[in-house]
Amino acid sequence: MILPALLLIPFLYIILAILIKSKKVKTWLSFAFSLINLGFAIWVMAQVFEAGMIKTQMGSWPAPFGITLVADRFSAFMLLVSALVFAVVTLYSIQSVDTARIKNGYFLFAHGILMGVNGSFLAGDLFNLYVWFEVMLMGSFILISFGGERAQLEGAIKYLILNLISSFFFVAGIGILYGKMGTLNMADLSQKIAQSGDVLSQLSPAMVLIVVGFAIKGALFPFFFWLPASYHTPPPAVTALFAGLLTKVGIYSLIRIYTLFLYHSTSFWNPVVLWIGILSMVIGVFSASSQYDFRKILSFHIISQLGYVVIGLAFYTVAGLAAAIFFLGHNMISKTNAFLVAGWVHRERQTLNLKVLGDMFKKNTLWGVLFFISAFSLAGLPPLSGFIGKYLVIKAGIESGHINVALVALFVGFFTLFSMVKIWIEVFWKNTPPEVEAPVNTKPLPHGLMISASIILALAIVGMGVFAGPVVNFCEMAASDLLNTELYINFVLK
Amino acid sequence: MELIFAIFIGLLYACGVFLLLRRSIVKVILGVFVLGNATNLIIFLAGGIKRSGAAFIPEGAETIDPAVISDPLPQALILTAIVIGLGIAAYILALKYRYFEETGTHDLDQLSKTDRK
């Protein structure tokens, strides 16, 4: 019964946040609830580590009739990493987000996102997955427009309309799928597709609609345009939360339906997914190198890095999927931390334009080191987590015979390094350009909570790199569970 | 009946896409609503259209012939989708109003600032 708790904890906070008036109580309660959520995620992880999978049938209706919540190793890993990212961003937000936003319920909507994310990772039913997507999107719609600055409203309109269209794709796919198969439980669907042989060719329209829906949510190649147009507009803490959680849910769902349904016709889907991945990697990294805004560079890199996860999926071997899972976890942590540093720079200098920034390393060495760790983890330098992630993806590519893809991945890694070095030199290393006026407030603003939040994530990055062995083993077990579809079907249905 | 319905849904999608491509934000928002309704109708169509009874099992009986009842699940799904759509409609209109207050325009061409370098 611990799976519903992961949905109830954020929901309980939302109710309390409406009832409680005091800003201070609301703020610290939010942090406490994020820690409770982290505790439960660890508990789920411990149980899954023992048992392999756990499930809850809501209302005791047996699958496939009721709503099933199910956590396998992959879900538990994602739940744990997202709970960690959420707790850290909450701690960071306490100091970073302005008072007016916190007073008007910043944490309430953040917990709405957490509820949607947790639900998506646990959903065992396609329509349920859609509902959790909407819960998550509703929270994110409000957070992205929260405060109502002009740039934010522009970004919000683009984000909103493109994400709604992706939901329509997804729901239309669900409708057609239900009409053909008469069920929406993912395990039941997978079983029925496997039993009925060539029915998958009839299901292709539904599957294409669903994959396009996920690709828009996950910001993959031809569908990513909403992401760089909107992610740099809200307060930095919001961007960090979005970068850590939102697109990753789309990719999680893609991996889930790929391993349950799409693997029946790999001859069609494998090349499609592989090309989506390659083009996301290459286009993302090239677009990033031409940008001159701290957060825009990082936003384009989200697209590029998700490409690595998708090519890991397209190899469709245990090693490839394990690499994809590891990379997803690494990317959530490193990317969030890079945005947290961007938030500090924004707080000190009120701008993130690389051309007018400079001298930040002199201003605070520790923040410089924190940026160094997360940026060079993204670029894939040892001994950080990104090195292990990229190594696993490239190794899996070579082993499965995709040597050209592995070479492209290496090549993209080089350009990632270029962008990160660019930010490092422009923001932290060079002197502030003489024509820019010196910042008015020379006294450093308080940033104790912000820096401790960032330190936690930096330690996680280093930890994931240095002690990669157990994590990689776990990812390999998760990957072989995913490939063994029978295991999932039997567990959910019996 | 199903064919007519499918053609009607296709028309709704066409109208929705046409509205989405207009320059005025109000029309884009209307397009989103039309697309949402077309999608709900797809789920309705997926359940099959036929004249049949409510999905109740009569008192005393253990089972019922599926041919005499209509499938209740698509209707439950649509209901959920409509409620979600209502929430989003309220939010998107509020957002549009706020944007109009801030900028005094509803021209989408003014929305290009966040895409510049």
pLDDT at position A286, please? 92
**Chain B touched by A417 (CB under 8 Å):** no
Of the two residues A357 and A300, the one the predictor is more confident about is: A300
With CA atoms as reference, report the closest residue to A111 among A11, A40, A25: A11
pLDDT at position A199, please? 63
pLDDT, mean of residues A362-376: 89
Give the residue ranges of DSSP H helices in A52-149. 73-96, 99-103, 106-122, 126-145
What is the per-residue DSSP string for A66-77? S-EEEE-HHHHH
Compute the distance between CA of residue A7 and CA of residue A17 in angstroms, rounded to an integer.
16
For residues B50 and B66, the answer to whether their CB atoms sit within 8 Å is: no
**Chain A touched by B103 (CB under 8 Å):** yes
Which residues of chain A have a CB within 8 Å of the CB of B98? 145, 148, 153
pLDDT, mean of residues A389-404: 91
pLDDT, tens digit (0-9, with 9 covering 90-100), for A155-203: 898 899 999 999 999 999 999 998 888 888 999 988 888 888 766 667 7
For residues A321 and A298, the answer to whether their CB atoms sit within 8 Å is: no
pLDDT at position A256, please? 92
CB-closest option in B40, B74, B99 to A157: B99
Which strand (E) or helix (H) includes residue A250? Answer: helix A236-260
Confidence of residue A209 (pLDDT cuts 50, 70, 90): very high
A148/B77 touch (CB, cutoff 8 Å), yes or no: no
Q: How far is CA A325 from CA A137, A310, A313, A314, A392, in A?
A: 23, 10, 9, 13, 10
55-94 in B: which are within 8 Å (CB) of A?
73-74, 77, 80-81, 84, 87-88, 91-92
For residues A276 and A254, the answer to whether their CB atoms sit within 8 Å is: no
pLDDT, mean of residues A443-462: 87
Confidence of residue A16 (pLDDT cuts 50, 70, 90): very high
pLDDT at position A441, please? 59
B114/A229 touch (CB, cutoff 8 Å), yes or no: yes
Radius of gyration of chain A (CA): 22
| pTM for the whole structure | 0.93
Give the residue ranges of DSSP H helices in A182-235. 186-195, 199-217, 226-230
Compute the distance between CA of residue A73 and CA of residue A482 in angstroms, rounded to an integer.
9
Q: Which two tokens stand for residue A432?
A: 């502030």
Distance from A356 to chain B by nearest Cα, in Å?
A: 14
Of the two residues A471 and B115, the one the predictor is more confident about is: A471
B88/A138 touch (CB, cutoff 8 Å), yes or no: yes
**Chain B touched by A158 (CB under 8 Å):** yes
Q: Which two tokens stand for residue A6?
A: 């992961």
Confidence of residue A100 (pLDDT cuts 50, 70, 90): confident
Of the two residues A277 and A352, the one the predictor is more confident about is: A277
pLDDT, mean of residues A121-131: 92
Q: How far is CA A304 from CA A206, A224, A280, A281, A293, in A?
A: 27, 10, 5, 4, 17
Distance from A228 to chain B by nearest Cα, in Å?
A: 8
- Give the number of other CB atoms < 10 A from CB of residue A174: 25
Domain residue spans of chain A: 2-493
Average pLDDT of every residue of chain A = 89
Which strand (E) or helix (H) includes residue A333? Answer: helix A318-349
Percent of chain B whose predicted confidence (pLDDT) is above 70:
97
Write down the CATH number for the domain with range B2-50+69-109.
1.10.287.3510
276-295 in A: which are within 8 Å (CB) of B?
290-293
Compute the distance between CA of residue A249 and CA of residue A241 in angstroms, rounded to an integer.
13
Domain residue spans of chain B: 2-50+69-109
pLDDT, tens digit (0-9, with 9 covering 90-100), for B53-90: 777 777 877 787 777 788 888 888 999 999 999 999 99
CB-closest option in A127, A151, A179 to B113: A151
Which residues of chain B have a CB within 8 Å of the CB of A131? 80, 84
> Residue A182 phi/psi, 5° resolution?
75, 20
Which strand (E) or helix (H) includes residue B79? Answer: helix B72-103
**Chain B touched by A239 (CB under 8 Å):** no
Is the model's pLDDT at B111 over the cut of 90? Answer: no
Which residues of chain A have a CB within 8 Å of the CB of B103? 150, 153
